[in-house]
A and B are shown apart, each in its own frame.
Chain A
């Protein structure tokens, strides 16, 4: 792949020279065992460590807890050259550091189109109007009086992995797959509110709109609205974080993140879609023949190995090795995940661990004895509809290189003999 074939929007000025980077890598390359000896021997056996010999902090010194200072690198990151402004941009979830299926609230990736709206819940209102018998205006407190539902779902940006359509570009699953999070949402079933308002028989579509500077708006078909959508005000038990739509957001299980309107303030019922900017100019998928798919709502089955990965190299040398990864599908539950060590030639079943939920992240493991030879690691999910995650080549055969969205192709990690891991393409 030539540089010109890589993402066209990558500014040349910000690219570091390959030679410089390679030199840096060589200079700092660590022997696989180098890390094991790190640390202060004074705190290690047979010595009694400092924290055993002194009192620790008392309760409520930190009224709202934070992770250990030794976990300071487990943070959201962005890629400066992707967008023109930080207010209409994206940050990435550090998937390579996380386990299980629940994303901590402070690490959930962000995608804003007009920055984070600073909404005072006392002034926020949700309006439901249009083709309804009884238009509604609700405060947050009133919304909380409706019957509640709790559901765990993944939320994936339609553009997750979009920078990889033209080839391996970003080196780390945080950057290639980190536009996703999975939390437990608490809120009101959208169906409950639509029943309260009484949708007229010709009400086929909803316009859902946010209160932010972009007034993010999308058209949602009534079938989905009545099926499993939620207006959520809690995530993982506490109030939504401002960057996730405080005080309320729409949850559209299995469908592209753009529809999950944050700071939700208005639902209008109509008889046809609105064709907003976010479903015409954006979130339409250009095909090789110049036509574009629209209303590509569902996120297809996808998986990625989160460790080892470029940001999580193998430090322990050869021996027993854990491959950990995530699989998900917008069409239902994960049925199985297979792992390949040789770039997709041979596959072995992975072990699903923890809950396997509808339209939620699912954790998988593959444990093996690494002999220290280079690997081409891949994972491949099949969901309960029978859909098998395709290779990138198979996707490109149908869609070409300019779809931007919906890249669920199989990811390959090249594990080198020294344990370093690289994002690669294979053929």
Chain B
């Protein structure tokens, strides 16, 4: 890390020192110059939020369970809630209605021609499911359910994906972070700098770089571009 947080703390401390020096001896030119060039200024603009204010917005959850609210809900409770609040878009079994997202299935499809990326086949952490559903679902009325109901819904979606298999399973703040998702090991850090090293070149080729090419695909053959009445892609004058 090039810019360490330690530097910031040190700089803030320096700013405090400079400020108190200024208070004690009056603002000298030397002190002002120091403030401009060295220490990050404190502006003292804004105020500290209260613990209660933070609590109202601070609902995010991490894979290690940090942030999970106290609560619980079972697969069976989740099934009923899912039918009432989710199935109209996601299907009764998470199979997705129309173009709405598929939540379950697709296991083993990640190397297939058309992978099906769902909670069970793709998502690395159960915490993400809780975090996302609780802050953004149901689509159109997010944050409208109770904490226990979100635990139940998440339990049901995990059940739909065979991540939990017992219908009596109860998900809670104490066991959510222990749940292992099938694809947790399926992710690597961005490795473009090494795996795509060949794209960094000194002098790109300018003449006779490749053999003459032929057209191998045409957008007009696929024909899914929005069209104006004249049959041309929208926006042609």
Residues of A in contact with B (beta carbons under 8 Å apart): 1, 3, 6-11, 14-18, 20-25, 27-28, 73-75, 77-81, 83-85, 87-88, 94, 96-97, 113-114, 127, 129, 133-139, 142, 145-146, 167-172, 174-175, 192, 194-196, 198-204, 207, 209, 213-215, 217, 222-223, 226-227, 265-266, 268, 270, 272, 274-277, 280-281, 284, 286, 288-298, 300, 310-313, 338, 342-348, 376, 380, 382, 385-390, 394, 398, 401-402, 414, 422-427
Name which residue of chain B comes closest to A170, CB basis. Answer: B225
CB A273 to nearest CB in B, in angstroms, measures 8
Taking a contact as CB atoms under 8 Å apart, the answer to whether A265 and B57 are in contact is: yes
Question: Is the beta-carbon distance between A347 and B206 smaller than 8 angstroms?
Answer: yes
Could you say which of B125, B132, B211 has the most chain A C-beta atoms within 10 Å of its C-beta?
B132
Please name all residues of chain A whose beta carbon is closer than 8 Å to the beta carbon of B114 when the two chains form the complex: 8, 402
Quick check: A274 and B209 within 8 Å, CB to CB? no
Closest approach, in angstroms, between the C-beta of B11 and any C-beta of chain A?
7
Contacts A171-B233, A213-B136; is A276 near B187 (CB within 8 Å)? no
In the complex, the answer to whether A171 meets B235 with C-beta atoms within 8 Å is no
The stretch of B24-32, B45-53, B78-86 in contact with A is: B45-53
A114 cross-chain contacts in B, Cβ below 8 A: 136, 139, 142
A424 touches B218 (CB 8 A): yes
Chain B interface residue count, Cβ-Cβ cutoff 8 angstroms: 99
CA of A15 to CA of B224 in the docked complex: distance in angstroms?
Answer: 6
CB of B69 within 8 A of chain A?
Answer: no
A24-B227 Cα distance, complex, nearest whole Å: 11
Closest 6 A-B residue pairs measured CB to CB?
A: A24-B231, A425-B217, A423-B219, A84-B99, A290-B110, A277-B132
Looking at the assembled complex, report how far the CB atom of A178 sits from the nearest CB atom of chain B, in whole angstroms. Answer: 10
Known A25-B232, A88-B139, A387-B200: A286·B117 in contact at CB below 8 Å: yes
In Å, the complex CA distance between A344 and B212 comes to: 8
Q: In this assembly, does B205 line the interface, its C-beta being within 8 Å of a C-beta of chain A?
A: yes
Q: Is A345 touching B211 in the complex (CB atoms < 8 A)?
A: yes
A25-B232, A382-B204 known; A222-B219 Cβ under 8 A = no
Q: Say yes or no: B128 contacts A280, CB within 8 Å.
A: yes
Q: What are 13 pairs between A and B in contact, CB < 8 Å?
A: A21-B220, A84-B99, A168-B219, A170-B219, A170-B224, A204-B5, A215-B143, A268-B60, A270-B62, A274-B62, A310-B219, A342-B213, A376-B215
| Residue among A14, A16, A94 having the largest count of chain B Cβ atoms under 10 Å | A16
Residues of A within 8 A of B220 (CB): 18, 21-22, 25, 171, 422-423
Q: Which residues of A contact B209 (CB under 8 A)?
A: 344-347
Shortest A69–chain B CB gap in Å is 14
Given contacts A3-B222, A127-B54, A422-B218, 16 further A-B contacts (CB under 8 A): A9-B99, A15-B224, A129-B58, A137-B48, A196-B43, A201-B5, A204-B5, A222-B1, A227-B3, A276-B128, A281-B117, A311-B236, A347-B209, A388-B201, A388-B204, A414-B218
Chain B residues closer than 8 Å to A170, beta-carbon distance = 219, 224-225, 233
Nearest Cβ distance between residue A352 and chain B, in whole angstroms? 16
Q: How far is the CA of A178 from the CA of B222 in the complex (A)?
A: 19
Smallest Cβ distance from B200 to chain A, in angstroms?
A: 5
Residue of A274, A342, A388 near B200 (CB, 8 A) is: A388
Q: Does B127 contact A (CB under 8 A)?
A: yes
Distance A168 CA – B136 CA, assembled complex (angstroms): 34
Please state if A97 and B208 are interface contacts (CB–CB under 8 Å). Answer: no
Whole-angstrom distance between the alpha carbons of A284 and B188 in the complex?
A: 9
Residue of B nearest to A77 (CB): B234
Check B224–A169 contact: CB distance below 8 A: yes
Q: How far is the CB of B143 from chain A (nearest CB, A)?
A: 8
Q: With A294-B188, A427-B213 in contact, is A286–B5 under 8 Å at CB?
A: no
Known: A146-B45, A215-B136. A426 touches B215 (CB 8 A): yes
Q: Which residues of A contact B5 (CB under 8 A)?
A: 199-204, 222
Are A215 and B135 in contact, with the CB atoms below 8 A? Answer: yes
Q: A296-B190, A342-B212 are in contact. Are A127 and B123 (CB under 8 A)?
A: no
**Which chain A positions have C-beta within 8 A of B142?**
114, 213-215
- Across the interface, which residues of B come within 8 angstroms of A288, CB to CB? 111
Contact B233 A311 (CB under 8 A): yes
> Which residues of the partner chain B approach A194 to less than 8 Å between Cβ atoms?
8
Contact between B206 and A338 (Cβ–Cβ < 8 Å)? yes
CB distance B128 to A281 under 8 Å? yes
B232 and A127 within 8 A (CB): no
A293 to B195: give the CA distance in the assembly, Å: 11
Complex CA gap A68/B193 in Å reads: 47
Whether the Cβ atoms of A344 and B210 lie closer than 8 Å is yes
The contact of B207 among A204, A346, A414, by CB within 8 Å, is A346
In the complex, how many angstroms separate the beta carbon of B167 from the nearest chain A beta carbon?
25
Does A427 contact B139, Cβ atoms closer than 8 Å?
Answer: no
Residue of B nearest to A196 (CB): B43
B200 and A386 contacting across the interface, CB-CB below 8 Å: yes
Verify if B175 is at the interface (C-beta below 8 Å from A): no
* Chain B proximity of A135: nearest CB distance (Å): 5
Whole-angstrom distance between the alpha carbons of A7 and B94 in the complex?
22
B213 touches A201 (CB 8 A): no
- Give the CA-CA distance A226 to B236 in the complex, in Å: 44
Task: Contact check, B110 vs A423: say whether CB atoms are below 8 A apart.
Answer: no
A280 touching B111 in the complex, CB below 8 Å, given contacts A79-B225, A135-B49: no
